[in-house]
Amino acid sequence: MTDPIKSAFHDIQAASGAGFVEEGGWLWTTGWGDFDREYGAVREGVGMWDLSPLNKWDFAGPEAAEAVQRTHTNDILSMKTGQVRYGGFLDEDGMLIDDGTVFKFADDHLWVMTNMMERQEYFADATKGLDVEVRYIGPETPSMQIQGPRSRDLVKTLTGANIDEMRYFTFIPEQIMFAGAPVIISRTGFSGELGYEIFLAPEHAGQVWEAVRTAGAVPYGIDVIESIRIEVGMIVTGYDYQEHEASPYDMGLDRMVALDAEGEFMGKDKLREIAQDPPNRFKTVRLEGDALPEYGAAITIGGEEVGTLTSPARSPKLEANIGLAMIRTDLSADGTKVDVAVGDATVNATVEPLAIYDPQKTRPRS
């Protein structure tokens, strides 16, 4: 059995008391044992998270953009240098196998991010015949998220680069100096807050981590991520959907499906059919009481199963238990009353918008 990959930030986190868990071939940071402090940093101040286990791929060559487009539901061919776009990766039936972002450095150079590591064969099959080299760059490209309402102020203390003009879902396609190290910086994140992501070489990880922490960021890990991501409707492969079992419409990714754009991608014709009458919608449900259902709990109305609670969590902001849910389209309107299985019983719940916290995404765009 292959040992899990340790990120370049692993040792400095371990020395300060972080916990870790193996998942998807990596050791993920769980946290430092203070949920309220870590969660509060992201929502009220500024937090820092080692997201190196996000799998990264380098597409390079004359047909790199076309190669990415063949796999991705968003409009990749129209991207400008410095843009980031999010969407799904599909099989030939239009079903999701993964989701993630694309960074455009140039027409012949893009980065692709996936949740899962085992994507080499998928990319090779999808891009067969194109002049492109696809290379896995995960371990050699550690990344740190700096997230929260105070993240811009903190980042500005560590770089002389002009980040005030950076818009949401853009990045600077040349290296800048940050905390004394050359990095790529993007205005992206997995928090629903104003935030940035830093990509760097492994040898600079220790100095950058310590500089960001000393500047006032609170380290956090995946112990708080479930609450954070579920509040803002962010999905994760293997939790909210299984490979080959859900379309982008089931997962609320309608705006990330470029059916009318020039580029062709795997499963596009199938999605045209599904788009005419999507069978499910992806929403949030607000649960009553203190009982927290399990992942995959059945959602029913009058005893009839009408959906699945894909991911549950306690929301400190809402002071309630909530969950992401895939619900039959005709019963998915906001305000609909449903029941969610908890053991042998059920709890009452109400259907809410997908991003129950800041549904208009004014905070990350601020």
Span 200-234, pLDDT tens digits: 999 999 999 999 999 999 999 999 999 999 999 99
The proportion of the chain whose per-residue pLDDT surpasses 70, expressed as a percent, equals: 100
Regarding whether 180 and 48 lie in a shared domain, the answer is yes
Range list of H helices, the chain: 10-15, 35-44, 64-69, 120-126, 151-157, 205-214, 222-231, 268-276
pLDDT digits (tens, 9 = 90+) for 227-256: 999 999 999 999 999 999 999 999 999 999
Regarding whether 190 and 149 lie in a shared domain, the answer is yes
Task: Write the CATH number for 294.
Answer: 2.40.30.110
Residue 343 lies inside a defined structural domain of this protein: yes
2 pLDDT band, cuts 50/70/90, is: confident
Residue 66 has pLDDT above 80, yes or no: yes
326 Cβ contact partners less than 8 Å away, ≥ 6 residues apart: 240, 241, 246, 250, 251, 280, 281, 282, 307, 308, 310
Task: Write the CATH number for 194.
Answer: 3.30.1360.120
Do residues 142 and 208 touch, judged by C-beta distance below 8 A?
Answer: no
Instruction: Decide which of 201, 230, 259 is a domain's last residue.
Output: 230
Average pLDDT over residues 295-299: 98
Regarding whether 132 and 71 lie in a shared domain, the answer is yes
Residue 290 has pLDDT above 70, yes or no: yes
Residue 64 lies inside a defined structural domain of this protein: yes
Residue 338 lies inside a defined structural domain of this protein: yes
Regarding whether 283 and 273 lie in a shared domain, the answer is no
What pLDDT sits at residue 339? 98
Residue 4 lies inside a defined structural domain of this protein: no
Rounded to whole angstroms, the Cα distance separating 242 from 314 reads 23
pLDDT digits (tens, 9 = 90+) for 105-127: 999 999 999 999 999 999 999 99
Residue 9 has pLDDT above 80, yes or no: yes
205 Cβ contact partners less than 8 Å away, ≥ 6 residues apart: 7, 8, 9, 12, 142
Average pLDDT over residues 51-80: 98
pLDDT digits (tens, 9 = 90+) for 18-37: 999 999 999 999 999 999 99
Average pLDDT over residues 135-155: 98
Regarding whether 357 and 299 lie in a shared domain, the answer is yes
Regarding whether 284 and 273 lie in a shared domain, the answer is no
pLDDT digits (tens, 9 = 90+) for 305-319: 999 999 999 999 999
The proportion of the chain whose per-residue pLDDT surpasses 90, expressed as a percent, equals: 99
Amino acid identity for residue 259 in this structure:
L
Domain holding 283, by residue range, is 279-366
46 Cβ contact partners less than 8 Å away, ≥ 6 residues apart: 146, 147, 148, 149, 150, 151, 153, 154, 216, 217, 218
Residue 192 has pLDDT above 80, yes or no: yes
Average pLDDT over residues 82-109: 98
Residue 242 lies inside a defined structural domain of this protein: no
Regarding whether 197 and 218 lie in a shared domain, the answer is yes
Regarding whether 343 and 198 lie in a shared domain, the answer is no
Regarding whether 124 and 108 lie in a shared domain, the answer is yes
As for how many domains the chain has, the answer is 3
pLDDT digits (tens, 9 = 90+) for 344-366: 999 999 999 999 999 999 999 99
Do residues 208 and 177 touch, judged by C-beta distance below 8 A?
Answer: no
Regarding whether 263 and 132 lie in a shared domain, the answer is yes
1 pLDDT band, cuts 50/70/90, is: low
